[in-house]
Structure 1
Amino acid sequence: MLSILAYMPLGYGQDAQTLNTRYMALQEQLANSPFQRPLYLESREAENNLTGDIYALTEQPYAVVSSALQGIGQWCDILILHLNVKNCRASSKAEDTLSVDIGRKSEQSLSETYRFDFLYQIVATTPDYLRVMLSAPQGPIGTSDYRIELEVLGLDSQRSFLHLSYSYDYGMAARMAMQSYLATTGRNKVGFSIVGQAADGQPVYIRGMRGVVERNSMRYYLALEAYLGALSKPASEQLEKRLSDWYAGIERYPRQLQELERSEYLDMKYKEIQRQQEEDAAPTTQ
Protein backbone atom coordinates (compact mmCIF):
# COMPACT_ATOMS: atom_id res chain seq x y z
CA MET A 1 0.00 0.00 0.00
CA LEU A 2 2.76 2.45 0.89
CA SER A 3 4.56 1.65 -2.36
CA ILE A 4 1.40 2.62 -4.27
CA LEU A 5 1.24 5.89 -2.35
CA ALA A 6 4.85 6.73 -3.04
CA TYR A 7 4.38 6.69 -6.81
CA MET A 8 1.11 8.60 -6.99
CA PRO A 9 1.50 12.18 -8.17
CA LEU A 10 0.13 15.03 -6.08
CA GLY A 11 -2.86 16.94 -7.34
CA TYR A 12 -4.10 14.10 -9.51
CA GLY A 13 -7.63 12.83 -9.67
CA GLN A 14 -9.40 11.87 -12.88
CA ASP A 15 -12.28 9.56 -12.05
CA ALA A 16 -13.97 7.43 -9.41
CA GLN A 17 -11.59 4.51 -9.82
CA THR A 18 -8.52 6.72 -9.47
CA LEU A 19 -9.87 8.44 -6.37
CA ASN A 20 -10.85 5.10 -4.85
CA THR A 21 -7.31 3.85 -5.41
CA ARG A 22 -6.03 6.94 -3.64
CA TYR A 23 -8.44 6.32 -0.77
CA MET A 24 -7.18 2.76 -0.36
CA ALA A 25 -3.55 3.95 -0.43
CA LEU A 26 -4.21 6.50 2.32
CA GLN A 27 -5.77 4.15 4.87
CA GLU A 28 -2.83 4.35 7.27
CA GLN A 29 -2.51 8.13 6.99
CA LEU A 30 -6.24 8.67 7.57
CA ALA A 31 -6.33 6.31 10.55
CA ASN A 32 -3.26 7.89 12.22
CA SER A 33 -3.71 11.50 11.18
CA PRO A 34 -1.98 14.24 13.20
CA PHE A 35 -5.18 16.23 12.68
CA GLN A 36 -6.94 13.86 15.11
CA ARG A 37 -9.51 12.97 12.46
CA PRO A 38 -9.41 11.15 9.10
CA LEU A 39 -7.75 13.94 7.11
CA TYR A 40 -4.53 13.95 5.11
CA LEU A 41 -2.79 17.02 3.66
CA GLU A 42 0.10 17.24 1.23
CA SER A 43 1.70 20.02 -0.79
CA ARG A 44 4.33 20.62 -3.40
CA GLU A 45 6.30 23.47 -4.87
CA ALA A 46 7.15 22.65 -8.47
CA GLU A 47 8.57 24.94 -11.14
CA ASN A 48 6.47 28.14 -10.86
CA ASN A 49 3.57 26.25 -9.26
CA LEU A 50 2.17 25.72 -5.77
CA THR A 51 -0.33 22.97 -4.98
CA GLY A 52 -2.07 21.87 -1.82
CA ASP A 53 -4.24 18.75 -1.58
CA ILE A 54 -6.53 17.66 1.23
CA TYR A 55 -8.14 14.22 1.44
CA ALA A 56 -10.76 13.53 4.10
CA LEU A 57 -13.52 11.19 5.14
CA THR A 58 -16.88 12.74 5.92
CA GLU A 59 -19.77 11.09 7.74
CA GLN A 60 -22.26 12.23 5.14
CA PRO A 61 -23.78 10.21 2.31
CA TYR A 62 -22.72 10.93 -1.24
CA ALA A 63 -26.25 11.86 -2.28
CA VAL A 64 -26.32 14.72 0.22
CA VAL A 65 -22.81 16.00 -0.52
CA SER A 66 -23.13 15.72 -4.29
CA SER A 67 -26.50 17.46 -4.40
CA ALA A 68 -25.25 20.30 -2.18
CA LEU A 69 -22.20 21.02 -4.34
CA GLN A 70 -23.80 20.86 -7.78
CA GLY A 71 -24.95 24.39 -8.40
CA ILE A 72 -22.99 27.57 -8.83
CA GLY A 73 -24.99 29.58 -6.29
CA GLN A 74 -23.93 27.45 -3.33
CA TRP A 75 -20.27 28.18 -3.94
CA CYS A 76 -20.54 31.81 -2.89
CA ASP A 77 -21.91 30.59 0.45
CA ILE A 78 -18.82 28.39 0.76
CA LEU A 79 -16.13 30.80 -0.44
CA ILE A 80 -17.26 33.83 1.58
CA LEU A 81 -16.33 31.98 4.80
CA HIS A 82 -12.63 32.30 3.92
CA LEU A 83 -10.92 35.24 5.63
CA ASN A 84 -9.57 36.69 2.40
CA VAL A 85 -12.79 36.43 0.39
CA LYS A 86 -14.54 39.77 0.63
CA ASN A 87 -17.35 39.26 -1.89
CA CYS A 88 -18.70 36.67 -4.33
CA ARG A 89 -21.30 36.88 -7.09
CA ALA A 90 -22.53 34.06 -9.31
CA SER A 91 -23.50 34.56 -12.94
CA SER A 92 -24.80 32.11 -15.54
CA LYS A 93 -25.23 34.37 -18.57
CA ALA A 94 -22.71 33.16 -21.15
CA GLU A 95 -21.14 30.57 -18.85
CA ASP A 96 -21.18 29.76 -15.15
CA THR A 97 -18.84 32.24 -13.48
CA LEU A 98 -18.03 33.21 -9.91
CA SER A 99 -16.71 36.75 -9.50
CA VAL A 100 -14.70 36.59 -6.27
CA ASP A 101 -13.04 39.58 -4.60
CA ILE A 102 -9.91 38.63 -2.64
CA GLY A 103 -8.31 40.97 -0.13
CA ARG A 104 -6.78 41.29 3.32
CA LYS A 105 -7.70 39.37 6.46
CA SER A 106 -9.50 42.46 7.76
CA GLU A 107 -12.36 44.77 6.77
CA GLN A 108 -11.78 46.35 3.40
CA SER A 109 -13.67 48.15 0.64
CA LEU A 110 -14.12 46.25 -2.60
CA SER A 111 -12.16 48.91 -4.48
CA GLU A 112 -9.07 47.71 -2.61
CA THR A 113 -9.52 44.03 -3.48
CA TYR A 114 -8.52 41.95 -6.48
CA ARG A 115 -11.25 40.43 -8.66
CA PHE A 116 -10.99 36.77 -9.72
CA ASP A 117 -13.41 35.45 -12.33
CA PHE A 118 -13.65 31.70 -11.73
CA LEU A 119 -15.21 29.51 -14.38
CA TYR A 120 -17.41 26.93 -12.64
CA GLN A 121 -17.57 23.50 -14.29
CA ILE A 122 -19.03 20.14 -13.33
CA VAL A 123 -16.36 17.99 -14.95
CA ALA A 124 -17.91 14.65 -14.06
CA THR A 125 -20.95 13.37 -12.21
CA THR A 126 -22.07 9.77 -11.70
CA PRO A 127 -24.15 7.97 -9.04
CA ASP A 128 -21.06 7.73 -6.81
CA TYR A 129 -18.57 10.34 -8.06
CA LEU A 130 -18.51 14.11 -8.54
CA ARG A 131 -15.76 16.35 -9.84
CA VAL A 132 -16.14 20.16 -9.79
CA MET A 133 -13.58 22.66 -11.04
CA LEU A 134 -13.21 26.40 -10.41
CA SER A 135 -10.55 27.98 -12.62
CA ALA A 136 -9.31 31.54 -13.11
CA PRO A 137 -6.68 32.36 -15.74
CA GLN A 138 -5.23 35.45 -14.03
CA GLY A 139 -4.43 36.66 -10.52
CA PRO A 140 -2.52 39.58 -8.98
CA ILE A 141 1.23 40.26 -9.21
CA GLY A 142 1.88 37.88 -12.08
CA THR A 143 0.06 34.85 -10.69
CA SER A 144 -2.09 32.73 -12.99
CA ASP A 145 -3.95 29.49 -13.60
CA TYR A 146 -5.78 29.37 -10.26
CA ARG A 147 -7.64 26.12 -9.69
CA ILE A 148 -9.90 24.92 -6.89
CA GLU A 149 -10.87 21.34 -7.65
CA LEU A 150 -13.21 19.17 -5.62
CA GLU A 151 -13.79 15.45 -5.97
CA VAL A 152 -16.32 13.44 -3.96
CA LEU A 153 -16.53 9.66 -3.91
CA GLY A 154 -19.39 7.74 -2.32
CA LEU A 155 -18.08 4.96 -0.08
CA ASP A 156 -21.24 3.54 1.46
CA SER A 157 -24.68 4.70 2.56
CA GLN A 158 -23.24 6.98 5.25
CA ARG A 159 -19.75 8.07 4.21
CA SER A 160 -18.01 9.96 1.43
CA PHE A 161 -14.37 10.58 0.56
CA LEU A 162 -13.43 14.15 -0.39
CA HIS A 163 -10.43 15.53 -2.24
CA LEU A 164 -9.89 19.29 -2.39
CA SER A 165 -7.01 20.65 -4.47
CA TYR A 166 -5.89 24.29 -4.54
CA SER A 167 -3.15 25.46 -6.90
CA TYR A 168 -1.79 28.39 -8.89
CA ASP A 169 1.20 29.39 -10.99
CA TYR A 170 3.46 32.32 -10.20
CA GLY A 171 6.11 34.40 -11.97
CA MET A 172 9.16 36.31 -10.82
CA ALA A 173 7.19 39.30 -9.50
CA ALA A 174 4.96 37.06 -7.38
CA ARG A 175 7.96 35.11 -6.08
CA MET A 176 9.69 38.32 -5.00
CA ALA A 177 6.53 39.65 -3.34
CA MET A 178 6.05 36.36 -1.49
CA GLN A 179 9.67 36.30 -0.34
CA SER A 180 9.26 39.82 1.00
CA TYR A 181 6.11 38.77 2.88
CA LEU A 182 7.80 35.67 4.28
CA ALA A 183 10.74 37.75 5.50
CA THR A 184 8.49 40.26 7.31
CA THR A 185 4.81 39.79 8.18
CA GLY A 186 4.83 36.07 7.46
CA ARG A 187 8.19 35.19 8.97
CA ASN A 188 6.70 33.27 11.89
CA LYS A 189 3.96 31.51 9.95
CA VAL A 190 4.07 27.78 9.34
CA GLY A 191 2.13 25.17 7.43
CA PHE A 192 0.99 21.70 8.50
CA SER A 193 3.58 19.30 7.06
CA ILE A 194 6.04 18.12 9.71
CA VAL A 195 9.63 18.32 8.41
CA GLY A 196 11.57 17.58 11.59
CA GLN A 197 11.65 17.54 15.35
CA ALA A 198 12.93 20.24 17.70
CA ALA A 199 15.27 19.54 20.61
CA ASP A 200 12.31 19.55 22.99
CA GLY A 201 10.52 16.92 20.91
CA GLN A 202 8.01 19.30 19.37
CA PRO A 203 7.31 19.01 15.63
CA VAL A 204 8.96 21.39 13.20
CA TYR A 205 6.46 22.55 10.58
CA ILE A 206 7.15 23.54 7.02
CA ARG A 207 7.54 27.23 6.26
CA GLY A 208 7.91 29.30 3.12
CA MET A 209 5.71 29.07 0.07
CA ARG A 210 4.52 25.54 0.77
CA GLY A 211 3.40 26.74 4.18
CA VAL A 212 1.36 29.45 2.46
CA VAL A 213 -0.44 27.06 0.11
CA GLU A 214 -1.09 24.58 2.93
CA ARG A 215 -2.76 27.24 5.07
CA ASN A 216 -4.95 28.43 2.22
CA SER A 217 -5.90 24.89 1.21
CA MET A 218 -7.01 24.20 4.77
CA ARG A 219 -9.04 27.43 4.94
CA TYR A 220 -10.92 26.43 1.79
CA TYR A 221 -11.46 22.90 3.08
CA LEU A 222 -12.82 24.19 6.39
CA ALA A 223 -15.23 26.41 4.43
CA LEU A 224 -16.45 23.38 2.50
CA GLU A 225 -16.78 21.35 5.70
CA ALA A 226 -18.67 24.13 7.48
CA TYR A 227 -21.08 24.49 4.56
CA LEU A 228 -21.85 20.79 4.44
CA GLY A 229 -22.16 20.58 8.22
CA ALA A 230 -24.84 23.28 8.28
CA LEU A 231 -27.15 21.57 5.81
CA SER A 232 -28.97 19.68 8.56
CA LYS A 233 -30.14 22.95 10.12
CA PRO A 234 -33.20 24.96 9.03
CA ALA A 235 -32.34 27.46 6.31
CA SER A 236 -32.70 30.38 8.73
CA GLU A 237 -29.98 28.93 10.99
CA GLN A 238 -27.48 27.77 8.40
CA LEU A 239 -25.49 30.99 8.00
CA GLU A 240 -24.81 31.33 11.72
CA LYS A 241 -23.75 27.69 11.93
CA ARG A 242 -21.47 27.97 8.90
CA LEU A 243 -19.66 30.97 10.35
CA SER A 244 -19.39 29.44 13.81
CA ASP A 245 -18.16 26.11 12.47
CA TRP A 246 -15.59 27.71 10.17
CA TYR A 247 -14.10 29.64 13.06
CA ALA A 248 -14.21 26.56 15.28
CA GLY A 249 -12.23 24.78 12.58
CA ILE A 250 -9.63 27.53 12.64
CA GLU A 251 -9.37 27.26 16.42
CA ARG A 252 -8.25 23.63 16.04
CA TYR A 253 -5.04 24.88 14.41
CA PRO A 254 -4.15 28.21 16.05
CA ARG A 255 -0.44 27.88 15.24
CA GLN A 256 -1.21 27.91 11.53
CA LEU A 257 -4.55 29.62 11.02
CA GLN A 258 -5.76 31.89 13.79
CA GLU A 259 -5.61 35.52 12.62
CA LEU A 260 -8.61 37.22 14.26
CA GLU A 261 -10.60 36.84 17.43
CA ARG A 262 -13.95 35.16 16.97
CA SER A 263 -15.93 38.38 17.47
CA GLU A 264 -13.77 40.18 14.90
CA TYR A 265 -14.25 37.43 12.34
CA LEU A 266 -18.01 37.22 12.83
CA ASP A 267 -18.47 40.99 12.71
CA MET A 268 -16.43 41.26 9.52
CA LYS A 269 -18.20 38.38 7.80
CA TYR A 270 -21.72 39.53 8.67
CA LYS A 271 -20.89 42.90 7.10
CA GLU A 272 -19.41 41.30 3.99
CA ILE A 273 -22.36 38.94 3.57
CA GLN A 274 -24.83 41.80 4.00
CA ARG A 275 -22.95 43.76 1.31
CA GLN A 276 -23.05 40.69 -0.93
CA GLN A 277 -26.78 40.24 -0.40
CA GLU A 278 -27.46 43.93 -1.13
CA GLU A 279 -25.51 43.64 -4.40
CA ASP A 280 -27.46 40.53 -5.38
CA ALA A 281 -30.75 42.33 -4.70
CA ALA A 282 -29.80 45.46 -6.64
CA PRO A 283 -31.25 45.74 -10.17
CA THR A 284 -28.74 45.16 -12.95
CA THR A 285 -28.12 47.79 -15.61
CA GLN A 286 -28.11 46.96 -19.29
Structure 2
Amino acid sequence: AAAADTGQSLDGAAGLRSRYTQLQAQLQDNPFGRPLHLDSSEGSSAVKGDIYAVLDHPFAQVRESLATPGNWCDILILHLNTKYCSLSNQGGKTMLRMHVGKKTPQDLRDTYRVDFTYTGGAAANDYFSSSMRAEKGPLDTSDYRIQIEAVQLPDNRAFLHLSYSYSYGMAGKLALRAYLATVGRDKVGFTVVGQGADGKPKYVTGSRASVERNTMRYYLAIDAYLASLSQPAAQRQEKRLDTWYTTTEQYRTQLNEVDRNAYLAMKRDEVARQQLPAD
Protein backbone atom coordinates (compact mmCIF):
# COMPACT_ATOMS: atom_id res chain seq x y z
CA ALA A 1 0.00 0.00 0.00
CA ALA A 2 1.08 3.55 -0.55
CA ALA A 3 2.43 5.43 2.42
CA ALA A 4 -0.27 7.32 4.23
CA ASP A 5 0.16 11.01 3.69
CA THR A 6 -0.58 12.58 7.05
CA GLY A 7 -0.29 16.08 5.67
CA GLN A 8 -2.74 17.98 3.51
CA SER A 9 -5.07 15.41 1.99
CA LEU A 10 -7.68 17.61 0.36
CA ASP A 11 -7.85 17.92 -3.41
CA GLY A 12 -9.17 21.49 -3.70
CA ALA A 13 -12.04 22.46 -6.00
CA ALA A 14 -10.29 21.76 -9.31
CA GLY A 15 -8.71 18.57 -7.98
CA LEU A 16 -12.02 17.31 -6.64
CA ARG A 17 -13.78 17.95 -9.96
CA SER A 18 -11.00 16.10 -11.71
CA ARG A 19 -11.32 13.21 -9.22
CA TYR A 20 -15.06 13.06 -9.91
CA THR A 21 -14.34 12.61 -13.62
CA GLN A 22 -11.65 9.99 -12.96
CA LEU A 23 -13.89 7.96 -10.64
CA GLN A 24 -16.96 7.74 -12.90
CA ALA A 25 -16.60 3.98 -13.46
CA GLN A 26 -16.11 3.22 -9.74
CA LEU A 27 -18.98 5.49 -8.67
CA GLN A 28 -21.36 3.79 -11.08
CA ASP A 29 -20.34 0.18 -10.50
CA ASN A 30 -19.22 -0.90 -7.03
CA PRO A 31 -20.24 -3.24 -4.19
CA PHE A 32 -21.63 -0.42 -2.02
CA GLY A 33 -24.93 -0.02 -3.82
CA ARG A 34 -24.44 3.76 -3.90
CA PRO A 35 -22.14 6.18 -5.77
CA LEU A 36 -19.17 5.74 -3.45
CA HIS A 37 -15.47 4.93 -3.75
CA LEU A 38 -13.25 4.03 -0.79
CA ASP A 39 -9.45 4.06 -0.68
CA SER A 40 -7.08 3.32 2.17
CA SER A 41 -3.33 3.50 2.62
CA GLU A 42 -0.86 2.55 5.30
CA GLY A 43 2.61 3.90 6.01
CA SER A 44 5.14 2.82 8.63
CA SER A 45 3.42 4.84 11.36
CA ALA A 46 0.20 6.22 9.87
CA VAL A 47 -3.00 4.98 8.31
CA LYS A 48 -5.60 6.80 6.22
CA GLY A 49 -9.01 6.24 4.67
CA ASP A 50 -10.62 8.31 1.91
CA ILE A 51 -14.20 8.20 0.72
CA TYR A 52 -15.47 9.93 -2.42
CA ALA A 53 -19.24 9.94 -2.77
CA VAL A 54 -22.10 11.68 -4.54
CA LEU A 55 -24.55 12.93 -1.90
CA ASP A 56 -28.20 12.92 -2.87
CA HIS A 57 -28.73 16.37 -1.37
CA PRO A 58 -28.52 19.90 -2.79
CA PHE A 59 -25.00 21.32 -2.53
CA ALA A 60 -26.15 24.43 -0.64
CA GLN A 61 -27.76 22.26 2.04
CA VAL A 62 -24.65 20.09 2.32
CA ARG A 63 -22.40 23.16 2.64
CA GLU A 64 -24.64 24.81 5.23
CA SER A 65 -24.86 21.61 7.29
CA LEU A 66 -21.22 20.51 7.20
CA ALA A 67 -19.55 23.93 7.33
CA THR A 68 -21.36 24.67 10.61
CA PRO A 69 -19.22 23.33 13.49
CA GLY A 70 -22.25 23.14 15.80
CA ASN A 71 -23.69 20.29 13.71
CA TRP A 72 -20.64 18.06 14.03
CA CYS A 73 -21.42 16.72 17.49
CA ASP A 74 -24.81 15.56 16.15
CA ILE A 75 -22.92 13.77 13.36
CA LEU A 76 -20.04 12.31 15.37
CA ILE A 77 -22.19 10.89 18.19
CA LEU A 78 -23.80 8.47 15.70
CA HIS A 79 -20.51 6.52 15.49
CA LEU A 80 -20.52 3.52 17.85
CA ASN A 81 -17.28 4.49 19.56
CA THR A 82 -18.16 8.16 20.15
CA LYS A 83 -19.42 8.46 23.70
CA TYR A 84 -19.64 12.24 24.05
CA CYS A 85 -19.02 15.39 22.04
CA SER A 86 -19.23 19.08 22.96
CA LEU A 87 -18.34 22.28 21.16
CA SER A 88 -16.53 25.21 22.76
CA ASN A 89 -14.53 28.29 21.91
CA GLN A 90 -11.09 28.49 23.49
CA GLY A 91 -8.84 31.43 22.79
CA GLY A 92 -10.58 32.13 19.52
CA LYS A 93 -10.35 28.49 18.43
CA THR A 94 -13.36 26.24 17.83
CA MET A 95 -12.82 23.04 19.82
CA LEU A 96 -14.67 19.73 19.66
CA ARG A 97 -14.16 17.72 22.81
CA MET A 98 -14.82 14.10 22.02
CA HIS A 99 -14.79 11.01 24.20
CA VAL A 100 -14.23 7.66 22.53
CA GLY A 101 -14.59 4.21 23.99
CA LYS A 102 -16.19 0.82 23.61
CA LYS A 103 -19.14 -0.15 21.45
CA THR A 104 -21.20 -0.66 24.62
CA PRO A 105 -22.51 1.81 27.25
CA GLN A 106 -19.68 3.33 29.24
CA ASP A 107 -19.11 5.81 32.04
CA LEU A 108 -17.31 8.88 30.69
CA ARG A 109 -14.54 8.39 33.26
CA ASP A 110 -13.63 5.13 31.50
CA THR A 111 -13.36 6.68 28.03
CA TYR A 112 -10.54 8.46 26.20
CA ARG A 113 -10.85 12.20 25.71
CA VAL A 114 -9.73 13.55 22.32
CA ASP A 115 -9.65 17.32 21.72
CA PHE A 116 -10.16 18.35 18.10
CA THR A 117 -9.47 21.83 16.77
CA TYR A 118 -12.01 22.69 14.08
CA THR A 119 -10.79 24.77 11.15
CA GLY A 120 -13.07 26.12 8.48
CA GLY A 121 -11.30 25.96 5.15
CA ALA A 122 -12.27 27.32 1.76
CA ALA A 123 -15.80 28.55 1.16
CA ALA A 124 -17.13 29.38 -2.30
CA ASN A 125 -20.44 29.15 -4.11
CA ASP A 126 -19.55 25.73 -5.48
CA TYR A 127 -16.90 24.38 -3.03
CA PHE A 128 -16.16 24.22 0.67
CA SER A 129 -13.76 22.44 2.98
CA SER A 130 -13.19 22.05 6.70
CA SER A 131 -11.01 19.97 8.96
CA MET A 132 -10.69 18.76 12.51
CA ARG A 133 -7.36 17.83 14.01
CA ALA A 134 -6.40 16.36 17.37
CA GLU A 135 -2.75 16.19 18.39
CA LYS A 136 -3.25 13.25 20.74
CA GLY A 137 -5.51 10.21 20.74
CA PRO A 138 -5.83 7.04 22.83
CA LEU A 139 -3.03 4.49 23.21
CA ASP A 140 -0.09 6.43 21.77
CA THR A 141 -1.99 7.51 18.67
CA SER A 142 -1.63 11.08 17.42
CA ASP A 143 -2.39 13.56 14.66
CA TYR A 144 -6.02 12.57 14.14
CA ARG A 145 -7.54 14.32 11.15
CA ILE A 146 -11.09 14.33 9.87
CA GLN A 147 -11.15 16.43 6.72
CA ILE A 148 -14.03 17.08 4.36
CA GLU A 149 -14.53 18.95 1.14
CA ALA A 150 -17.34 19.03 -1.38
CA VAL A 151 -17.94 20.49 -4.79
CA GLN A 152 -21.20 21.26 -6.56
CA LEU A 153 -22.12 18.97 -9.46
CA PRO A 154 -23.95 20.16 -12.59
CA ASP A 155 -27.19 18.60 -11.31
CA ASN A 156 -26.80 20.62 -8.07
CA ARG A 157 -25.92 17.60 -5.95
CA ALA A 158 -22.71 17.49 -3.93
CA PHE A 159 -19.60 15.40 -4.51
CA LEU A 160 -17.99 14.77 -1.12
CA HIS A 161 -14.46 13.78 -0.16
CA LEU A 162 -14.00 12.59 3.43
CA SER A 163 -10.51 11.83 4.68
CA TYR A 164 -9.79 10.20 8.06
CA SER A 165 -6.25 9.53 9.26
CA TYR A 166 -4.07 9.14 12.32
CA SER A 167 -0.51 8.25 13.29
CA TYR A 168 0.79 5.88 15.93
CA GLY A 169 4.01 5.36 17.87
CA MET A 170 5.54 2.10 19.08
CA ALA A 171 3.14 1.64 22.01
CA GLY A 172 0.25 2.30 19.64
CA LYS A 173 1.59 -0.27 17.21
CA LEU A 174 1.81 -2.86 19.95
CA ALA A 175 -1.69 -2.07 21.19
CA LEU A 176 -3.01 -2.32 17.65
CA ARG A 177 -1.19 -5.62 17.13
CA ALA A 178 -2.72 -7.00 20.33
CA TYR A 179 -6.18 -5.84 19.24
CA LEU A 180 -5.81 -7.37 15.78
CA ALA A 181 -4.67 -10.67 17.30
CA THR A 182 -7.68 -10.87 19.64
CA VAL A 183 -10.92 -8.87 19.39
CA GLY A 184 -10.14 -7.60 15.88
CA ARG A 185 -8.90 -10.91 14.52
CA ASP A 186 -11.90 -11.65 12.30
CA LYS A 187 -12.68 -8.07 11.34
CA VAL A 188 -12.24 -7.05 7.72
CA GLY A 189 -12.40 -3.90 5.64
CA PHE A 190 -13.92 -3.21 2.24
CA THR A 191 -10.96 -3.44 -0.13
CA VAL A 192 -10.87 -6.78 -1.94
CA VAL A 193 -7.35 -8.25 -1.84
CA GLY A 194 -8.00 -11.65 -3.40
CA GLN A 195 -10.42 -14.52 -3.77
CA GLY A 196 -10.99 -17.43 -1.43
CA ALA A 197 -11.14 -21.06 -2.57
CA ASP A 198 -14.94 -20.71 -2.37
CA GLY A 199 -14.83 -17.92 -4.95
CA LYS A 200 -15.85 -15.29 -2.40
CA PRO A 201 -13.86 -12.07 -2.07
CA LYS A 202 -11.08 -11.86 0.50
CA TYR A 203 -11.04 -8.49 2.21
CA VAL A 204 -8.19 -6.42 3.61
CA THR A 205 -7.42 -7.02 7.30
CA GLY A 206 -5.33 -5.27 9.95
CA SER A 207 -5.02 -1.53 10.44
CA ARG A 208 -6.19 -0.67 6.90
CA ALA A 209 -9.38 -2.62 7.57
CA SER A 210 -9.83 -0.72 10.82
CA VAL A 211 -9.44 2.70 9.21
CA GLU A 212 -11.76 1.68 6.34
CA ARG A 213 -14.50 0.66 8.76
CA ASN A 214 -14.25 3.90 10.70
CA THR A 215 -14.07 6.11 7.61
CA MET A 216 -17.25 4.38 6.39
CA ARG A 217 -18.95 4.89 9.77
CA TYR A 218 -18.16 8.61 9.67
CA TYR A 219 -19.39 8.88 6.09
CA LEU A 220 -22.66 7.13 6.98
CA ALA A 221 -23.03 9.51 9.94
CA ILE A 222 -22.75 12.50 7.58
CA ASP A 223 -25.28 10.89 5.25
CA ALA A 224 -27.68 10.09 8.10
CA TYR A 225 -27.46 13.67 9.36
CA LEU A 226 -28.33 15.05 5.92
CA ALA A 227 -31.17 12.54 5.50
CA SER A 228 -32.72 13.71 8.80
CA LEU A 229 -33.11 17.31 7.62
CA SER A 230 -36.31 16.47 5.73
CA GLN A 231 -37.99 15.68 9.09
CA PRO A 232 -39.51 18.13 11.59
CA ALA A 233 -36.80 19.23 14.06
CA ALA A 234 -38.24 17.16 16.92
CA GLN A 235 -37.96 13.94 14.91
CA ARG A 236 -34.49 14.42 13.44
CA GLN A 237 -32.50 12.78 16.20
CA GLU A 238 -34.43 9.49 15.98
CA LYS A 239 -34.28 9.63 12.18
CA ARG A 240 -30.48 10.01 12.32
CA LEU A 241 -30.03 7.08 14.69
CA ASP A 242 -32.35 4.87 12.69
CA THR A 243 -30.78 5.79 9.34
CA TRP A 244 -27.22 5.29 10.62
CA TYR A 245 -27.99 1.84 11.99
CA THR A 246 -30.00 0.77 8.94
CA THR A 247 -27.30 1.83 6.49
CA THR A 248 -24.44 0.24 8.45
CA GLU A 249 -26.38 -3.03 8.38
CA GLN A 250 -26.15 -2.97 4.57
CA TYR A 251 -22.47 -3.78 5.17
CA ARG A 252 -22.86 -6.40 7.88
CA THR A 253 -19.64 -8.24 7.02
CA GLN A 254 -17.62 -5.17 7.97
CA LEU A 255 -19.81 -3.06 10.26
CA ASN A 256 -22.18 -5.26 12.25
CA GLU A 257 -21.33 -4.99 15.96
CA VAL A 258 -24.50 -4.64 18.04
CA ASP A 259 -28.19 -5.20 17.47
CA ARG A 260 -30.54 -2.34 16.64
CA ASN A 261 -32.22 -2.05 20.04
CA ALA A 262 -28.90 -2.03 21.89
CA TYR A 263 -27.55 0.67 19.57
CA LEU A 264 -30.65 2.87 19.83
CA ALA A 265 -30.85 2.58 23.63
CA MET A 266 -27.15 3.36 24.07
CA LYS A 267 -27.21 6.32 21.69
CA ARG A 268 -30.36 7.86 23.18
CA ASP A 269 -28.59 7.85 26.54
CA GLU A 270 -25.40 9.27 25.07
CA VAL A 271 -27.24 12.03 23.22
CA ALA A 272 -29.02 12.93 26.47
CA ARG A 273 -25.67 12.97 28.30
CA GLN A 274 -24.32 15.29 25.61
CA GLN A 275 -26.90 17.92 26.59
CA LEU A 276 -25.42 18.13 30.09
CA PRO A 277 -22.49 20.45 30.79
CA ALA A 278 -19.16 18.61 30.62
CA ASP A 279 -17.37 18.21 33.93
Same-fold status (TM-score > 0.5): yes
Opposite residue 144 of structure 1, the aligned amino acid is S
Q: Deviations over 1:126-147 (max 9, x none)?
A: 1000111000011122111000
2:199 maps to 1:196: no
Give aligned-pair identity as a percent: 50
Q: Deviations over 1:84-142 (max 9, x none)?
A: 00000000242100000001100000000111110111111110001110000111221
State the 1:80 CA deviation. Answer: 0.3
Q: Is the 8 A contact 2:10 2:148 kept in 1?
A: no
Q: Is the 8 A contact 2:45 2:169 kept in 1?
A: yes
- Residue 96 of structure 1 aligns to a residue in which SS? strand
2:240 maps to 1:276: no
Opposite residue 168 of structure 2, the aligned amino acid is Y
Opposite residue 40 of structure 1, the aligned amino acid is H
Find runs of 4+ consecutive structure 1 residues off by over 6 angstroms.
none
What residue in structure 1 maps to residue 51 of structure 2? 54
Task: Specify every segment of 5 or more residues in structure 1 that has no aligned partner in the other structure, as ranges.
Answer: 1-5
Give the distance between the partners of 1:52 and 1:159, measured in 2 at CA.
23
Give the distance between the partners of 1:79 and 1:99, measured in 2 at CA.
11
> What CA RMSD, in Å, does the superposition of the two structures yield over aligned residues?
1.6
What residue in structure 1 maps to residue 118 of structure 2? 120
State the 1:279 CA deviation. Answer: 2.4
Q: Is the 8 A contact 1:59 1:158 kept in 2?
A: no
What residue in structure 1 maps to residue 178 of structure 2? 180
Give the distance between the partners of 1:183 and 1:148, measured in 2 at CA.
27
Q: Deviations over 1:245-264 (max 9, x none)?
A: 00011100111111000000
- Residue 252 of structure 1 aligns to a residue in which SS? helix
Of 27-36 and 256-265, more deviation after overlay is shown by: 27-36
Q: Deviations over 1:132-167 (max 9, x none)?
A: 100001112211100000111100343110010000
What residue in structure 2 maps to residue 166 of structure 1? 164
- Residue 278 of structure 1 aligns to a residue in which SS? coil
State the 1:230 CA deviation. Answer: 0.7
What residue in structure 2 maps to residue 36 of structure 1? 33
Give the distance between the partners of 2:11 and 2:192, measured in 1 at CA.
28
Give the distance between the partners of 2:81 and 2:201, measured in 1 at CA.
28
Give the distance between the partners of 2:81 and 2:181, measured in 1 at CA.
21
Equivalent positions of 1:104-119 (< 5 A) are 104-119=102-117
- TM-score, with normalisation over the residues of structure 1? 0.93
Give the distance between the partners of 2:36 and 2:131, measured in 1 at CA.
21
Equivalent positions of 1:86-165 (< 5 A) are 86-94=83-91, 95-165=93-163
Q: Is the 8 A contact 1:62 1:157 kept in 2?
A: no
- TM-score, with normalisation over the residues of structure 2? 0.95
State the 1:34 CA deviation. Answer: 1.2
